[in-house]
Chains A and B, each alone.
Chain A
């Protein structure tokens, strides 16, 4: 019995090996979308995948590209280095001609090396860690700003608009949060009359942050800037208020989500969030939002418009070059000049970073993110 079972299990394991591989010529043009579909960031992944699907459906409604249909292949990268590499190989196997997606920088960076080896264009929609494009891969682009662009913006807002003198910075030691915290800290250091009184990390996944916040309270900050993700951000904002820490609470763009408000409850009132503008606050994105709502019966997520643009940049490049060849697409994307997307005009610099990125600050009022003076 045991041996029969052994044989059976071995045979069962062979089943996935017989799955079909790359598509044939004349098949649809496939765009890869690696996103987290499991784990704590699954909601973001879902929002991103839906925006990509919408972009492809719109292209197909107009007759497709080069006479071929556009197809989105979306795979789970679980925001994990190892899984993102496997997902990258799976996408390449499926015959994608370019990749537009990703969410966590820690997953996007290892995967970008795989795309680089295969010569496939990778347009990141939400990975803002500077290292992604600093690697010098000619095939890597991003439509979102870099953390070292948001950091100086956040620093300027705290110093000029909030007139803060004593600033506490809390990150969570993830790639993105530490990068943003470092960039903010660097922009504040050496400024006359401004002092970073606290710079330390919380542990993602924890629920009780009173130890860290008690320490922060004793330092009497004017502003506390949290650069991590929203699952902890909402709880920190709540405990910040409960403990009666002095000054304002401000958070980075990964907190730009309704979940932050539902977790923090009343404590979210008056919280500042630095971010790229949400689609609904950009005139260029209005048409996109209407179509997204109509298609999915829900509001777009914070990165949906960026992903929509990332996919469209790829599709535009295929149209411009008149070829679905991987290398031709990389070249055409690099040559993108002032492409009019839902998040504004898109051009890339030599590194593949987007030129002229806009940041704004939101303030939470009655549970809604309201723009607080566009700069």
Chain B
């Protein structure tokens, strides 16, 4: 039992002590970890729960960030009011992109989402109202009454509130009827359909929920940086978010948190390497994937599956379980 709770307890302790005892830099790194936790949890709904490979996830991140930034700068809306608008717009774009494309099988979906990610970034670069390559500057800090959330501590607490909300949401989603439907579709779409689950609807739900999570992360990102431009929403950003969940373990909530921590903190810890920093980061990631191909903290369902598959493979090898491999997949 101790093993199970020790890491979680350590993480909670760090999360609480950091804003009190940490320097602004450490708090800023912690805030960035939380941004990637939100993004990772969102993408985890799409990739981890529903098994849809999305390579353009940064697009929703961008839509959320731009919505908040533009509403705050051009129309002087308060931060909190921009949140539902950002959620609505990301959900809407998720529906528009998802409805036609989610009928496609995995590889094709990956290509379409990849294209979507690039379209959003290039549109933001070329449109005038998004500020072109200069993006949006002078985004105000959010305020509660007269209190302005400006300090790294305040931003950290705000990010933590977002992250906890998304974490609880993700946890409940996985255990809901929706979550079980996603699991069924991910494992065998044909069988799920036979059992009365309409795959396109549930896939769309996953896609849209994931988009809304990313939109929330984007809204926060805009007020944290106070300046956004399209270069923050490149394909590499989508890949980085994907890396968070693959590194952590797909479908696993502690895995996503751990993955986000590694992706953000490893390059910071490697600052001593200076010019070969990103090179060392790459080597570190390859090493981690070789040592832990299932992720740092894989989901328990995934582990059980692997055990079952290994057992059936063993029984096939023994020549006794030929009837268990009816499916050609």
- Collect the chain A residues with CB atoms within 8 Å of residue B229's CB: 81, 106, 175
Q: B193 contacts the other chain (Cβ, under 8 Å)? A: no
- Collect the chain B residues with CB atoms within 8 Å of residue A109's CB: 137, 227
Contact with B along A84-125 (1 / 0, CB 8 A): 011001101100000000000010011001000100000000
- Collect the chain B residues with CB atoms within 8 Å of residue A15's CB: 269
On chain B, which size bracket covers the interface? 35 or more
Which stretch in A2-10, A188-196, A287-295 binds the other chain? A2-10
A173 and B127 CA atoms in complex are apart in Å by: 11
Q: A312 contacts the other chain (Cβ, under 8 Å)? A: no
A219 and B231 CA atoms in complex are apart in Å by: 31
Complex contact A81–B265 (CB within 8 A):
no
| Chain A interface main SS type | helix
Complex contact A175–B227 (CB within 8 A):
no
Complex contact B297–A16 (CB within 8 A):
no
Complex contact B28–A10 (CB within 8 A):
no
A335 and B271 CA atoms in complex are apart in Å by: 35
Complex contact A46–B133 (CB within 8 A):
no
Complex contact A7–B6 (CB within 8 A):
yes
Which stretch in B71-79, B158-166, B206-214, B274-282 binds the other chain? B274-282
Which stretch in A35-43, A244-252, A362-370 binds the other chain? A35-43
Residue in chain A with minimal CB distance to B275? A37
Q: B241 contacts the other chain (Cβ, under 8 Å)? A: no
Complex contact A131–B134 (CB within 8 A):
yes
Complex contact B25–A92 (CB within 8 A):
yes
Complex contact B6–A86 (CB within 8 A):
no
- Collect the chain B residues with CB atoms within 8 Å of residue A78's CB: 278
Q: A232 contacts the other chain (Cβ, under 8 Å)? A: no
Q: How far is the CB of B235 from chain A (nearest CB, A)?
A: 11
A-B contact count (CB 8 A): 124
Q: A85-B28, A135-B138 are in contact. Are A178 and B132 (CB under 8 A)?
A: yes
Q: A86-B268, A89-B25, A92-B25 are in contact. Are A110 and B227 (CB under 8 A)?
A: yes
Complex contact A173–B227 (CB within 8 A):
no
Q: How far is the CB of A21 from chain B (nearest CB, A)?
A: 5
A175 and B231 CA atoms in complex are apart in Å by: 9
| Option from B7, B227, B275 in Cβ contact (under 8 Å) with A113 | B227
Q: A229 contacts the other chain (Cβ, under 8 Å)? A: no
A110 and B262 CA atoms in complex are apart in Å by: 24
Q: How far is the CB of A103 from chain B (nearest CB, A)?
A: 14
Q: How far is the CB of B97 from chain A (nearest CB, A)?
A: 22
Q: B258 contacts the other chain (Cβ, under 8 Å)? A: yes
A38 and B132 CA atoms in complex are apart in Å by: 25
Q: How far is the CB of A311 from chain B (nearest CB, A)?
A: 19
Q: A38-B275, A82-B32, A173-B133 are in contact. Are A90 and B14 (CB under 8 A)?
A: no
- Collect the chain B residues with CB atoms within 8 Å of residue A90's CB: 25, 268, 271
Q: B150 contacts the other chain (Cβ, under 8 Å)? A: yes
A10 and B248 CA atoms in complex are apart in Å by: 12
Q: B302 contacts the other chain (Cβ, under 8 Å)? A: no
User: What are 6 inter-chain pairs, A to B, with CB distance below 8 A?
Assistant: A9-B262, A38-B279, A80-B232, A113-B225, A174-B231, A177-B133
* B-to-A contact residues, CB < 8 Å: 3-4, 6-7, 10-11, 14, 18, 22-29, 32, 125-126, 132-135, 137-138, 150, 152, 224-229, 231-232, 258, 261-262, 265, 268-269, 271, 274-275, 277-279, 292, 296-297
Q: Which 6 A-B pairs have the closest CB atoms?
A: A3-B3, A93-B25, A89-B25, A89-B28, A110-B227, A16-B269
